[in-house]
Amino acid sequence: MKRPVDPSTPIHIAVKETIAALEDCHPTQLGSLEMVVDCERLDAVLDAPSEELPMLFQYCGYTVSVDDTGTLCVEN
């Protein structure tokens, strides 16, 4: 699943909402995102140096990436 993140939504929230939708649950039912990625750094991905992009991490059995355009990609 690939989608742009609404600029008014912090990226870490968009990640949790996207995975929760895929898992058909509420975001609070998912594990701690903070345990797998620095959420402050994730939210600042649009300002990250190009050599650090895309941000890529594993969360709840999914591979998640976010690029410098704010595009969120979630793969199972």
Total domain count, the chain:
1
Whole-number pLDDT of residue 41: 94
Residues 66 and 45: beta-carbon distance below 8 Å: yes
Cβ neighbour number for residue 42 with a 10 Å cutoff = 20
pLDDT tens for the chain, 76 residues: list them: 999 999 999 999 999 999 999 999 999 999 999 999 999 999 999 888 888 899 999 999 999 999 989 999 999 9
Contact criterion met (CB below 8 Å) for 38 and 47: no
Host domain of residue 43:
2-75
